[in-house]
């Protein structure tokens, strides 16, 4: 069947095209769902084409792995809570990097048994892909553990960055020796060092940088997959890996820009882990739900700022119900989304889309910030660091220079919060002490439900 290899190549091309178009459609909330389907169809085509590749070995083992992986992914995807979605993204991304590293390990050990590699280029790319994939694997696992509360967000020790640099140089050095000699003890040492780099590099990174870290490891995974795709001479892996790597790199740059940070400072600066902000004068001023409802009922413009606390409380559906009640009263309502709100890029957008909030009511930071001075009421639900004014006023604060939502410029600000604790970066929020801010303490869903009930009683429910 001389036509079969050509059909496989054509299938890989079609799959790559679907990957690219799918990612393009994922750039907009309106088309993201269909983009995921397109990319999924591309992956199915690529998988079937791989099974049709002449000379494929270990078919029963491959089929067993596909069935097991599909079953676990389906089960975990169905049961995961929206609040745990960042952890799942981090973990699955790490598995992608681990898969690339595993390919590199198998090929390097095979070349070691043979005593020779197909070419020096293939050998170098196998090592490079294995190094990057190993870092992405263990780094993503540490990010998952931090996001899931299983590991302290901050872990530092004296001379940490110098020690990390030495381990990285050791991994690179062992990689070079692997290319030169293909000795199995050296290969094993290389992987141990590479896996250690991912752990050590992620441990000191503060919680506020997690969205950037997840995006960065996504880019590294894509790059590792592309390198190992070349090693296997698999066009689908090469193209898909480069597309994911490029998209992840661009997203990482956007996330870092949204925090006014360089990627180097994210990796080596322990953002959110050090630094002491100035003491904030004043006290937090509580308010009752009835007063908030009256304030919002007679407002002309209301802006709702969701954060991770809304996700924890699963309050997005109640928030949309409140929004609908306000719109019926003629109030103009918008949602303000900070680029790094939540625990991963787009976290709040996903939650609001799940609740059915129309896309035209959702505004990003640059568009909504000029509107805060003319906003009657800003309702902050579970957001903290992304609305903290010290990012603009206190040079000693660890988040100084990070662009924020200018909620403090609103005529009135209401903050729904469970208690008086700090945000994920561990920094006190000056917004909570401002003269125009009132605190509505309680669980997000319960507090919003109370607002809905009180709103209905305003003017007898009219």
Q: Which residue has the tokens 């990482």?
A: 252
| CA torsion through residues 226, 206, 379, 450, sign | positive
Quote the CA–CA distance of 43 and 240 in Å, as a whole number.
9
Quote the CA–CA distance of 345 and 49 in Å, as a whole number.
32
User: What three-state secondary structure class fits 334?
Assistant: strand
Which residue among the candidates 385, 394, 406, 443 is catalytic per the annotation? 385
Quote the CA–CA distance of 91 and 175 in Å, as a whole number.
26
DSSP β-ladder status, 362-364 and 377-381: unpaired
Dihedrals phi, psi of 439, to nearest 5 degrees: -105, 125
Structure tokens at 257: 């820009």
- Contact indicator for 320, 356 with CB cutoff of 8 Å: yes
- Contact indicator for 123, 354 with CB cutoff of 8 Å: no
Q: Which residue has the tokens 């480069």?
A: 242
| CA torsion through residues 456, 459, 461, 462, sign | negative
DSSP β-ladder status, 362-364 and 332-337: parallel
Structure tokens at 412: 């009135």
- Contact indicator for 390, 400 with CB cutoff of 8 Å: yes
Catalytic site includes residue 366: no
Dihedrals phi, psi of 147, to nearest 5 degrees: -65, -35
- Contact indicator for 316, 352 with CB cutoff of 8 Å: yes
Structure tokens at 452: 């809905």
Quote the CA–CA distance of 93 and 100 in Å, as a whole number.
11
Catalytic residues: 385
């Amino acid at each position: 069947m001389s036509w079969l290899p050509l059909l496989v190549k054509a299938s890989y091309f079609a799959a790559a095209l679907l990957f690219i178009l799918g990612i393009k459609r994922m750039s907009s909330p309106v088309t993201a769902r269909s983009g995921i389907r397109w990319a999924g169809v591309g992956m199915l085509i690529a998988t079937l084409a791989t099974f049709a590749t002449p000379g494929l070995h270990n078919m029963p083992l491959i089929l067993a792995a596909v069935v097991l992986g599909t079953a676990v992914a389906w089960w975990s995807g169905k049961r995961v809570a929206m609040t745990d979605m960042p952890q799942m993204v981090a973990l699955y991304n790490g598995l992608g990097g681990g898969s690339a590293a595993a390919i590199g390990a198998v090929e390097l050990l095979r070349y070691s048994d043979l005593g020779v590699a197909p070419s020096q280029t293939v050998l170098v790319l196998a090592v490079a892909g294995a190094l990057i994939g190993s870092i992405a694997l263990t780094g993503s696992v540490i990010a998952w553990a931090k996001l899931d509360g299983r590991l302290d967000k901050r872990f530092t020790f004296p001379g940490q960055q110098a020690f990390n640099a030495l381990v990285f140089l050791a991994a690179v050095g062992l990689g070079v020796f692997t290319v030169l000699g293909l000795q199995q003890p050296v290969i094993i040492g290389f992987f141990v060092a590479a896996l250690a780099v991912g752990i050590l590099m992620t441990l000191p990174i503060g919680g506020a940088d997690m969205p950037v870290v997840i995006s960065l490891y996504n880019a590294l995974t894509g790059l590792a997959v592309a390198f190992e795709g070349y090693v296997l001479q698999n066009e689908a892996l090469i193209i898909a890996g480069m597309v994911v790597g490029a998209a992840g790199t661009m997203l990482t740059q956007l996330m870092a820009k949204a925090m006014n940070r360089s990627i180097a400072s994210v990796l080596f600066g322990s953002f959110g882990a050090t630094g002491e902000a100035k003491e904030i004068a004043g006290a937090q001023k509580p308010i009752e739900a009835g007063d908030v409802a009256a304030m919002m009922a007679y407002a002309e413009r209301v802006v709702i700022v969701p954060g991770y606390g809304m996700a924890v409380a699963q309050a997005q559906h109640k928030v949309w119900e409140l929004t609908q009640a306000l719109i019926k009263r003629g109030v103009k309502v918008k949602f303000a989304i900070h680029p790094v709100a939540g625990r991963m890029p787009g976290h709040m957008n996903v939650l609001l889309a799940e609740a059915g909030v129309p896309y035209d009511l959702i505004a990003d930071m640059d568009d909504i910030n000029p509107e805060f001075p003319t906003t009657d009421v800003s309702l902050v639900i579970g957001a903290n660091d992304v609305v903290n004014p010290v990012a603009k006023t206190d040079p000693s604060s660890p988040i100084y220079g990070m662009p924020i939502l200018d909620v403090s410029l609103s005529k009135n600000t209401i903050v729904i919060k469970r208690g008086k604790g700090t945000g994920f970066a561990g920094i006190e929020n000056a917004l909570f002490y401002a003269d125009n801010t009132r605190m509505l303490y309680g669980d997000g869903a319960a507090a919003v439900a109370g607002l809905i009930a009180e709103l209905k009683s305003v003017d007898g429910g009219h």
